[in-house]
A and B are shown apart, each in its own frame.
Chain A
Amino acid sequence: MGSTSAENNGTGDNGTTGVGRRALIKRSAALGLISVPTMSFLSACASGGGDDDSGENEGKTSESNPFGVKEGSKLDVVIFKGGYGDAYAKAWEADFKKKWGVSSVHTGTQEITGKLQPRFNAGNPPDIVDDSGAQQIPIDVLAKNGQLLDLAEVLDAPSADDPDTKVRDTLIPGTLDAGMQEGKVVALNYIYTVWGLWYSGKLFEEKGWEAPKTWDDFLAICKDAKADGIGGLAHQGKYPYYINVAIMDLIAKKGGLDAMKAIDNLDPKAFVGSDAATEAIEAVYEVVEKGYLMPGTNGLTHTESQTRWNQYKAAFITSGSWIENEQLKTTPADFDMKFLPMPLLPDSALPFEAIRAGSGEPFIIPSKAKNLPAAKEFMRMMLSKKWSTIFAKEANSLTILKDGVDPSVQLRPGTQSTVEASKAAGDNTFRFLYTEWYSEMGTAIENASNELMAKRIQPKEWLKRAQAAVDKQAKDPASKKNRRD
């Protein structure tokens, strides 16, 4: 749709996209389809809504009010009410009202798609959305439909804490990447996340194990664990996303950033013909073959497998840093949850400390939001120290704001260990983007991993299937627009 400013929404609809629709109507009318009335009805909604309200919600801009928030206007906020709850958002909204006199309509839900797809199609989306969870609307799909505001304006505005710094420069480097679609940041992935393995400090102390730094040490602990009657590695088998994190991390650490970019850039040798990929997948398969997986883990959901791990039924589990908050209720008080960067294969390009780090929980501003000024301001305030601290307190997690948490907040052991791991990693962080860009390719590779973990295919076949998924995606002309250097 292309139009990003509020004023253009109405005309943009009739101008650029009108042609396509009109042509379609003509053709479908010729075919005897009577789909015309609804479509013109829907577009009437879309353009009508945009025209009336954008002016209404526009206030005067000033240095402290860069977007022109208008007092007394309303902000429509939709929050994914999952592992992090939505108490943090309510606290934000209260603060927002106090500061700007803008009251909000709050919706906390898990059914993002069910609630929002009709609204996006009718052209009256909310003003700001936390588009996450199992029923999120994929960001790549929304972006392809032209529904997302380019967030550059917010990111280039002065920070709420320091008027001399741009918002962009107050964030942990690299955390905006996950929200990039076709070269623009269209989603703000708000939560700082690290991915890797997790273990119980208590269990390791009891058994006298050291956190392994190499793959061989890792296998040795798995062997010990098996001898003691517990599983080595647990994973959330019903959702192969998780084991893929381990496989891809091994590839990136072994082959370096080039091996990772080859996958994201749909290289014809991303998997087949890549030594890093071959060694990584063989290493993971070794775990399967030697029987070091927690029995039955291939069929368990995330809750089931993580709970088993909390009951000391496995030494390691794969996950991102949301696991601590997700497992709050089942984690024993003395469990001492600890994060572990992926152990190294021999002759790896990246050091052991290197971690997959980035951001999750995408917040978006729909391009057709009615109260764009307030939505932008809301996002700017999300990236203030005050709101970031509110989030850490209510949701036990770090945000992408540098030093964004007030020292008075006591972090839980798992989160504390990720803070230390991030410090140790320094600039040695990496992050795959194909999952964000190509939902279909991601799913195909996950399926192959599921088969590998169940021993139904061998590493060679896995490489072939992963490469086939890459090659198929590369054929889609839209994939030319995504590229990382």
Chain B
Amino acid sequence: MRKGQHRFVAGFLLFPVALYLIFVIWPYIQTFGYSLTDWKGQSQTFDFVGLDNYTALFEDDIFMGAIWHNILFLVFIPVITILLALFFAFMLNAGGRGRSGGVAGVAGSKYYRVIYFFPQVLSLAILAVLFGAVYRSDGGGMLNGALIKLGLVDRDSPVEWLNEPNFVLWALIAVVVWHGVGFYLVLFSAAMQSIPRDIYEAALIDGASRTQSFFRITLPLLWDSVQTAWVYLGIAAMDMFILVSTMTAGDYGGGPDHHSEVMSTVMMRNFLLYGRSGYACAMGVVMLLLTLIVSVVMLRATRRERIEF
């Protein structure tokens, strides 16, 4: 770069970088500072306690359980969402019968694309209300109502979906997947459309089946998008605060009996309800670290040779 150019670039960057430092980096540093104190949350009086909060964290069964639930989400949410999205995207773009020799999606794919995107338009709060009605624990719930009508569930003992330790996490995963598939479908569709048609046609002429062309052509060429999706979904799985806190039992959710607890709900309860804010800040720092690690690991693990086309 020529002399003076650095200054020119820095001039433009100054404002956004300052914003970033003040509103992102500085709160992180503050949180870390508070995590070394016994701050009680409602005044600026506190004492320094060193790493006590962190040692207490590792003996806190509820928080440890919450980490495991986050890990479970981390494994299942991205895998299920991406697989479904890939499948649908492939069907919409290249899954149709080869009419007039070309490669096309299934009939009506234009409409499906729009319909699949609908859930993404809903905010998480609306989603929570909607699925609250689906999972409602008496005969008025959509699932229970249907199951009772079909005679699969006894009218006097309906399934309490969100109050069953064995179901509650899966019920939540279903909501996230339902919400997310449409978005990633559009993302993958866009990427698929940028794959040159002739590649598919060449494969078709060589006698490749639909499955083969998916695994040999589509997936390798989509890898960048899959990787992005994986990281996004991974970060979402590390959070889950809105759905868990609104849909499950207890203050800030996490019920029944901590069976759906995630790190953020434990953190909020300690921060606001119990007045153990310094301790909650320590949880926040652990969450930050884990999320960073997850992102790095996912990016590394999915790194592959890039194919130019």
Contacts and interface: CB of A to CB of B under 8 A. Distances in A.
Given A451-B256, A454-B163, A146 B45 contact: yes
A297 B138 CA distance: 7
A20 B249 contact: no
A137 B44 contact: no
Given A24-B48, A141-B42, A239-B249, A443 B160 contact: no
Interface string A15-36: 0010011011001100101110
Contacts of A120: 42-43
Interface string A300-322: 11001000100000000000000
Contacts of A451: 256-257
A24 B37 contact: yes
B69 interface: no
Nearest to A125: B42
Given A20-B47, A21-B45, A296-B138, A141 B155 contact: no
B36 A295 contact: no
Nearest to B277: A141
B273 A439 contact: yes
B29 A34 contact: yes
Nearest to A141: B275
A145 interface: yes
B32 interface: yes
Interface string B134-172: 011111110010000000000111101111110000000
A240 interface: yes
Interface in A438-473: 439-440, 443, 446-448, 450-451, 454, 456
Interface in B98-157: 132, 135-141, 144, 155-157
Interface residues of A, number: 57
Interface in B151-206: 155-158, 160-165
Contacts of B41: 117, 121, 141, 145
B275 A454 contact: no
Contacts of B42: 117, 120-121, 137, 141-142, 145, 147
B96 interface: no
Given A117-B41, A144-B40, A20 B46 contact: yes
Contact of B156 (A27, A38, A237, A295): A295
A146 to B, nearest CB: 6
A24 B47 contact: yes
A294 B46 CA distance: 48
A41 B33 CA distance: 16
B274 interface: yes
A212 interface: no
B33 A145 contact: no
A298 B275 CA distance: 28
A188 B155 CA distance: 46
B33 A447 contact: no
A300 B46 contact: no
B297 interface: no
A28 B48 contact: yes
Given A146-B45, A296-B144, A308 B255 contact: no
Contact of A450 (B32, B137, B158, B249): B249
B43 A145 contact: yes
B52 interface: no
B65 interface: no
B251 interface: yes
Contacts of A138: 272-275
A134 B132 CA distance: 18
A108 interface: no
Contacts of B274: 138, 141, 439-440
The 9 tightest CB contacts between A and B, nearest first, are A299-B137, A296-B138, A141-B275, A35-B33, A299-B160, A145-B42, A145-B43, A299-B163, A296-B137
Interface of B: 29-30, 32-34, 36-37, 40-48, 132, 135-141, 144, 155-158, 160-165, 249-251, 255-258, 269, 272-275
14 contacts: A17-B44, A23-B47, A28-B33, A33-B33, A43-B44, A113-B272, A117-B42, A144-B275, A237-B160, A295-B158, A439-B274, A440-B273, A447-B257, A448-B257
